[in-house]
Amino acid sequence: RKEVEQDPGPFNVPEGATVAFNCTYSNSASQSFFWYRQDCRKEPKLLMSVYSSGNEDGRFTAQLNRASQYISLLIRDSKLSDSATYLCVVNDDMRFGAGTRLTVKP
């Protein structure tokens, strides 16, 4: 089993849709999690941290489920500009998921 696994997608959704990505991790001792966004051929940029109590930033919500060892990212009211690849990372192990590709269509 890979240490960090993501559904590669692609996810193709219409504008305004709600979409959710999950990311599972194997190290139960992991403490630090993030979601990054990567646009084509560019460097990853931080989207949001994932706190154990869950956290929200505008249309984006991140959650952590320690019992099942996964983190999730929910995007509400999708915009065309949300089209990108979303990477989860377990910071303690410096392990990135392979990324989930999202395309939002008009």
> Residue numbers of the site for other proteins (CB under 8 A)?
6, 8, 31-32, 34, 41-46, 49, 87, 89, 91-92, 94-99
b/e code 86-102 from CB counts within 10 Å (16+ = b): bbbbbeeeebbbebbbb
| Smaller CB separation from other proteins, 17 or 61 | 61
Measured between alpha carbons, how far apart are the two ends of the chain, in Å? Answer: 37
CB of 28: closest distance to other proteins in angstroms? 17
CB of 42: closest distance to other proteins in angstroms? 7
| Smaller CB separation from other proteins, 56 or 92 | 92
